[in-house]
């Protein structure tokens, strides 16, 4: 003797913007989904994905977007600029500056001698400026790479959006599954 289960079908009517929609739902997942308050679920899912997207932006894009400079600046020391190059750096948040050259350079920060090197890392505090000057006896090319720190307020906002969206989504799903 074999038993056969059948899907019970129900016809639900929804009113959205003064229009009636009739949706046939199967008992099970369809019935559960038909009971969810869709606007709240959509709102919480949007908050969740907004928070997630903002966190990803802050981790991967924001540090490279230094105002006025982008992710860095290339420099050339040659006879046309008398083997000298200088650039002012302004830090809106803590700024990590890395200087890489293909040969030894003499490095000055705010007219103060720092070192003779081919690579140097410098940190500029928020709100400060630094005038970086490079000198050499021979042609040199190199790159300033700038990375800014992520402000705590932006991190808190991103995590708050993510957590509110996650909690709201879980509560709206759980509440409707129990009923």
Task: Please give the average pLDDT of every successive group of 10 residues along the chain, which has 179 residues.
Answer: 47 57 49 61 91 93 76 89 92 90 94 94 92 94 90 93 91 66
pLDDT score at 72: 80
Per domain, the residue ranges of the chain are: 1-34, 62-151
The pLDDT score that the predictor gives to residue 14 is: 56
Q: Please state, in angstroms and rounded to a whole number, the distance separating the CA atoms of residues 7 and 29.
A: 11
Structure tokens at 84: 């000298």
Match domain 62-151 to its CATH number in 2.60.120.10, 3.40.50.2300, 1.10.10.10, 3.40.50.300: 2.60.120.10
Cut 0.85: pTM above it = no
Closest CA to 101 of 154, 59, 140, 50: 140
* Pair 35, 173: CB distance under 8 Å: no
Pair of tokens at residue 31: 């019935």
**Whole-angstrom Cα distance, residue 7 to residue 26?**
6
């Amino acid at each position: 003797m074999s038993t056969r289960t059948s899907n019970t079908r129900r016809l639900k009517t929804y009113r959205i913007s003064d229009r009636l929609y009739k949706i046939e739902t199967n008992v099970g997942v369809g019935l559960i989904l038909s009971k969810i308050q869709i606007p709240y679920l959509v709102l919480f899912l949007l908050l969740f994905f907004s928070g997630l997207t903002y966190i990803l932006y802050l981790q991967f894009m924001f540090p490279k977007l230094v105002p006025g400079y982008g992710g860095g600046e290339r420099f050339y020391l040659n006879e046309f600029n008398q083997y000298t190059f200088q650039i002012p750096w302004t830090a809106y948040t803590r700024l990590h500056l890395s200087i890489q050259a293909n040969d030894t350079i003499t490095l000055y920060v705010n007219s103060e001698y720092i070192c003779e090197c081919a690579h140097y890392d410098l940190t500029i505090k928020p709100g400060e400026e630094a005038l970086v000057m490079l000198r050499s006896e021979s042609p040199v090319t190199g790159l300033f790479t700038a990375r800014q720190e992520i402000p705590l307020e932006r991190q808190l906002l991103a995590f708050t959006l993510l957590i509110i969206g996650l909690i709201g989504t879980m509560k709206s799903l759980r509440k409707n599954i129990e009923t």
